[in-house]
Chains A and B, each alone.
Chain A
């Protein structure tokens, strides 16, 4: 069975600090997708990134970066120079590549950026 664990329930930092959100997953599939979604206070879920399991190259998008390590089954998310607008709940998720591509979500990490 697939499982995603986000051990950090809540994180609070001061603006401009760097912060890393941890994600550890379990799967028996040899190929799979990993995702991060953002849920701001308004409640909608916003897609941030999808990573294929055979592509371990790290990715950077502006202040956001993602570190995928297959050896430790981790897909961590770092926000550099955090801003108040980054305050949200962040979800890590895992899906199969074939079939119905169902998402399995972690419990989420509530990130609060204080001014």
Chain B
């Protein structure tokens, strides 16, 4: 069981570069989420999706864009990376009726 898979696991970017983080789930979950984890702040919601073709903003959406073209994939994009986006990024998915989010292993991103 793969569950939730995040790609890549690590990445170093220079300020102004762009990149896309990929999240894939094989559990046929309707809902998917992107969080960032920063020291002393827990996890904060960036964007989320309640179904294929739909996305919405979370608590800290600025500087990020997302897309969900297929039910199993949720992409997080950084168009012009900034040092403030240095963080660990987690993707999660959940089944509508169970309301339990299952997380990927995380992506550690450093922006220099």
* A-facing residues in B58-108 (Cβ within 8 Å): 58, 88, 90, 92, 94, 99-106
Given contacts A44-B103, A47-B100, A100-B31, whether A105 and B50 have CB atoms under 8 Å apart is no
**What is the minimal beta-carbon distance from A6 to any residue of chain B, in angstroms?**
8
Q: Which residue of B lies closest to A47 (CB)?
A: B100
**Known contacts A45-B103, A50-B100: A100-B44 contact under CB 8 Å:** no
Binary CB contact string for chain A from 77 to 99 against chain B (1 if under 8 A, 0 otherwise): 00000000000000100010100
Docked Cα-Cα span, A55 to B58, in Å, equals 28
Closest to A9 in B: B40
List which B1-52 residues lie within 8 A (CB) of chain A.
31, 33, 35, 40-45, 48, 50
Partner of A50, one of B43, B88, B99, B105: B99
The answer to the question of B112 belonging to the interface, with a C-beta cut-off of 8 Å to chain A, is no
Provide the bound-state CA to CA distance between A107 and B41, in Å.
Answer: 5
- A1-33 contacts to B, CB under 8 A, are 4, 6, 9, 33
Range of interface residues on B (Cβ < 8 Å): 20 to 34
How far, in Å, is A105 (CB) from chain B's closest CB? 4
Q: Measured between C-beta atoms, what is the minimum distance from B73 to chain A in Å?
A: 18
- Tell me the complex Cα distance, A105–B101, Å: 12
Nearest-Cβ distance from residue A21 to partner chain B, whole angstroms: 14
**Given A43-B105, A44-B105, are A105 and B43 also a contact pair (CB < 8 Å)?**
yes
In the complex with contacts A100-B48, A100-B50, A100-B56, A91-B42 CB distance below 8 A: yes
**Contact between B106 and A103, CB atoms less than 8 A apart:** no
**In the complex, what distance in Å separates the CA atom of A91 from the CA atom of B58?**
19
Contact of A91 with B43 at beta-carbon distance under 8 Å, contacts A43-B88, A43-B105, A102-B58 already known: yes
Q: Which residues of A contact B (CB under 8 A)?
A: 4, 6, 9, 33, 35, 37, 43-45, 47, 50, 91, 95, 97, 100-108
Apart from A44-B104, A103-B33, A108-B42, what are 6 other A-B pairs with CB-CB below 8 Å? A6-B42, A33-B99, A44-B103, A47-B100, A95-B99, A102-B33
